[in-house]
């Protein structure tokens, strides 16, 4: 008779306080030809980059995400020019600076600025994920002990552990509203919840 085992999956969560904001900024420029469209988009994204650096964001926290150019058509299907776009990813480590950065960028390039994302995040998730894994393993053990008792047995040694994944499971609430005076955009972090899942096999004895 083969050895008796029990295999269960446990899940766990842990909260972490967001300490950075990830901005996804995009500049678009329309022009009659490709070269002019690309030149305009490049000038706009360079202006946004200067604004971001002037606000104290380090070069390591600024990166180009992508760039593209496509032809534009009017409502009759006639080609009328080209649109070039570039995207910039910015990590802001002072939450209170987000509003001033967005406003300064808008002032620099006007309606060419598009904000594709404003996301609160945790710069170093390692401690939160460690706690989520601890909770996931404890959950698995609790289930396994229950099944062992139902089988009139007890848990022996662990025979196998497989992590099923770790990920954010709930984004924090973001309050973004213009103040009555000063035009700022306050960010309220709340908590970011991290999740882990693990499958564990024990020998039954």
- Domains belonging to the chain, first-starting first, are 5-17+125-204 (3.30.110.170), 20-121 (3.30.70.2970)
Return left, alpha or beta for 95; rule: phi > 0 is left, psi -120 to 50 is alpha, else beta: alpha
Q: Which residue has the higher pLDDT, 167 or 27?
A: 27
What does the pLDDT read at residue 57? 96
CB 173 within 8 A of CB 119: no
CB atoms within 10 A of CB 78: 8
- Paired sense of beta strands 155-170 and 192-204, if any: antiparallel
* Residue-averaged pLDDT of the chain: 88
CB atoms within 10 A of CB 202: 24
Give just the sign of the alpha carbon dihedral 120, 123, 126, 131: negative
Match 């967001």 to its residue by tokens.
Answer: 18
CB 18 within 8 A of CB 172: yes
* pLDDT higher than 90, residue 185: no
Q: How far apart are CA 105 and CA 63, in angstroms?
A: 16
pLDDT digits (tens, 9 = 90+) for 89-138: 999 999 889 999 999 999 999 999 999 999 989 999 899 999 999 999 99
What does the pLDDT read at residue 201? 97
Give alpha helix (H) positions in the chain: 34-54, 98-109, 126-150
């Amino acid at each position: 008779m083969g050895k008796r085992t029990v295999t269960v999956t446990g899940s766990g969560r842990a909260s972490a306080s967001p300490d950075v904001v990830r901005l996804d900024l995009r500049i678009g420029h329309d022009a009659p030809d490709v070269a002019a469209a690309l030149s305009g988009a490049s000038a706009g994204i360079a202006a946004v980059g200067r604004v971001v650096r002037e606000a104290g964001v380090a070069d390591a926290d600024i990166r180009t995400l992508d760039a593209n150019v496509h032809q534009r058509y009017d409502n009759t299907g006639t080609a009328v020019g080209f649109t070039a776009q570039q995207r910039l990813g910015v990590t802001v480590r002072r939450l209170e600076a987000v509003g001033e950065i967005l406003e300064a960028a808008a002032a620099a390039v006007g309606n060419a600025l598009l904000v594709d994302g404003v996301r609160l995040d945790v710069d170093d998730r390692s401690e939160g994920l460690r706690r989520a894994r601890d909770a996931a393993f404890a959950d698995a053990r609790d289930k396994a002990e229950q099944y062992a008792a139902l089988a009139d047995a007890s848990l022996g040694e662990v025979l196998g552990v497989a992590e099923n994944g770790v990920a954010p499971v709930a984004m924090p609430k973001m309050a973004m509203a213009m103040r009555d005076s000063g035009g700022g955009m306050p960010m309220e972090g709340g908590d970011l919840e991290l999740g882990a899942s693990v499958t564990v096999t024990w020998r039954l004895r």
